[in-house]
């Protein structure tokens, strides 16, 4: 195999993961990103990074489900592989202990609706991954929630990771494997074998990939940004082992535990490309969902409120497609972490097959 020089515009989750897998396959990679590598205002840095193929099926389709299933096989292997490539990097928080789904007594119909929808859409081979729970079973799974919910669901096999740690680990491994990374350099033109940045930098490549998320709108007219907001808190008074989804007639929110007593509460979903700060309304919704899960969250310290745009295509499915000689990896929408390994794997294969 002849090593190729691959240029990637955009170093979010998609760009970084693709760059890493291409370097591992023996190629050379140049990355250009309009932001610094530790900027917090991208979808990848804002996400809750829950890996929820089952829960997400209620709001997605069979394509996302299949990508999610493949990714759930790849995630543990890729977390280990990244550590093997960069043993000095701090370990990445990754858990696969399922998801708990609950609803307060007045919102039981929301939980019932979610359960029926899931049972209707879920292929029968996966039916055993959805387990109904009564109050004692909830208490056994999450002792902190004992006595708070009469029933719920356990979605087996679902997972989560720390997106901040994963993105930082990718950053470290890309340096270690020799990626050339231009930070703070917006790309204005992408051609099959050329990338041109606003500052005049031109990079000649063998293959060009556009991974700019919502920044690719000029190249992909069917792309839109979907605003999402999350709240991050620190709370020593509650311990959760796994993400908890709270069903509610107006909004469905989740609380995902992170290392060091941190919790991510998310996420709003608004058909808006507003990139402004989190609104008071969203802050109250996120905060009340958290407080209603357990009153000890009343003493939680607010660490961060963040908003970002999820890049979505018309059919809400992630895609790798080629336009005028340029590859695009985009449309990761609300399933970026869930689907990225499968999507990146398929693009690496397509690029490899394209070799002369
Ligand atoms: C609130 C919220 C919660 C989420 N929760 C989850 C979850 O629990 N599970 C899950 O699976 N997914 C979740 N997601 C979705 C996931 O975060 C996204 O699908 C994924 O991060 C998209 O990655 P990306 O690399 O395509 O885009 P981005 O993260 O947007 O990265 C794009 C990169 O391109 C760069 N760029 C933009 N324009 C240019 C330009 N002109 N030139 C050069 N560089 C450019 C940007 O600086 C950025 O670094 C969530 C998203 C949000 C917003």
Which pLDDT score is estimated for 249? 81
Cross-strand bridge partners of residue 306: 230
Note the CATH number of domain 99-156+224-312.
Answer: 3.30.9.10
Burial class (CB in 10 A: 0-12, 13-18, 19+), 205: buried
Measure 268 CA to ligand 1 centroid, in angstroms: 15
Measure 163 CA to ligand 1 centroid, in angstroms: 11
In CATH, which superfamily holds the domain spanning 5-91+162-222+314-354?
FAD/NAD(P)-binding domain (3.50.50.60)
Q: Are 188 and 194 in contact (CB under 8 A)?
A: no
Q: Are 252 and 334 in contact (CB under 8 A)?
A: no
Measure 126 CA to ligand 1 centroid, in angstroms: 29
| Total residues found in the chain within this entry | 356
Q: 108 φ, ψ to 5°? A: -60, -35
Nearest in space to 138 (alpha carbons), one of 153, 119, 128, 158: 153
Which pLDDT score is estimated for 178? 97
Pocket test for ligand 1, best of 47, 69, 229 (most atoms within 8 A of CB): 47
The Cα 346–Cα 356 span in angstroms is 18
The Cα 79–Cα 258 span in angstroms is 16
The Cα 12–Cα 201 span in angstroms is 20
Ligand 1 interacting residues, C-beta cut-off 6 A: 9-15, 32-35, 42-44, 46-50, 186-187, 211-213, 215, 228, 230, 266-267, 308, 310-311, 330, 332-338
Location of structure tokens 């039981």: 108
Give the residue, by CA position, lying nearest to ligand 1 atom 19.
336
Measure 186 CA to ligand 1 centroid, in angstroms: 16
Q: Along the 356 residues of the chain, how does pLDDT read in single tens digits?
A: 789 999 999 999 999 999 999 999 999 999 999 999 999 999 999 999 999 999 999 999 999 999 999 999 999 999 999 999 999 989 999 999 999 999 999 999 999 999 999 999 999 999 999 999 999 999 999 999 999 999 999 999 999 999 999 999 999 999 999 999 999 999 999 999 999 999 999 999 999 999 999 999 999 999 999 999 999 999 999 999 999 999 988 878 999 999 999 999 999 999 999 999 999 999 999 999 999 999 999 999 999 999 999 999 999 999 999 999 999 999 999 999 999 999 999 999 999 887 66
Q: Are 318 and 67 in contact (CB under 8 A)?
A: yes
Q: How is the chain split into domains, by residue range?
A: 5-91+162-222+314-354, 99-156+224-312
């Amino acid at each position: 195999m002849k090593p190729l020089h691959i240029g990637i515009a955009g170093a979010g989750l998609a760009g970084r993961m693709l760059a890493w897998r291409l370097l591992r396959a023996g190629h050379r990679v140049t990355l250009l990103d309009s932001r610094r590598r530790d900027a917090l205002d991208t979808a990848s840095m804002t996400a809750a990074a829950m890996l929820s193929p089952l829960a997400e099926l209620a709001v997605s389709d069979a394509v996302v489900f299949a990508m999610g299933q493949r990714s759930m096989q790849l995630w543990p292997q890729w977390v280990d592989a990244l550590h093997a490539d960069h043993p000095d990097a701090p370990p990445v928080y990754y858990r696969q202990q399922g998801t708990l789904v609950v609803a307060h007594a007045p919102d039981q119909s929301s939980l019932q609706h979610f359960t029926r929808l899931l049972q209707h859409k879920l292929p029968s081979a996966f039916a055993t991954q959805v387990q109904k729970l009564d109050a004692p079973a909830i208490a056994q799974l999450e002792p902190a929630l004992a006595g708070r919910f009469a029933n719920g669901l356990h979605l087996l096999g679902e997972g989560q990771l720390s997106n901040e740690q994963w993105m930082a680990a990718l950053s470290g491994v890309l340096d270690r494997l020799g990626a050339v990374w231009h930070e703070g350099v917006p790309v204005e033109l992408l051609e099959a074998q050329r990338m041109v940045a606003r500052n005049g930098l031109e990079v000649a490549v063998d293959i060009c990939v556009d991974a700019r998320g919502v920044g690719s709108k000029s190249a992909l007219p069917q792309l839109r940004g979907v605003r999402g907001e999350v709240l991050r808190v620190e709370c020593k008074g509650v311990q959760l082992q796994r993400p908890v989804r709270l069903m509610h007639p107006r909004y469905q929110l989740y609380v995902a535990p992170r290392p060091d007593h941190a919790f991510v509460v998310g996420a709003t979903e608004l058909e808006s490309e507003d990139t402004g700060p989190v609104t008071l309304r969203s802050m109250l919704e996120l905060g009340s969902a958290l407080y209603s899960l357990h009153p000890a969250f009343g003493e939680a310290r607010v660490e961060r409120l963040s908003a970002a745009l999820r890049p979505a295509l018309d059919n809400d499915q992630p895609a790798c497609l080629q336009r005028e000689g340029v590859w695009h990896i985009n449309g990761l929408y609300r399933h970026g972490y869930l689907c990225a390994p499968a999507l990146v794997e398929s693009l690496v294969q397509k690029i490899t097959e394209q070799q002369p």
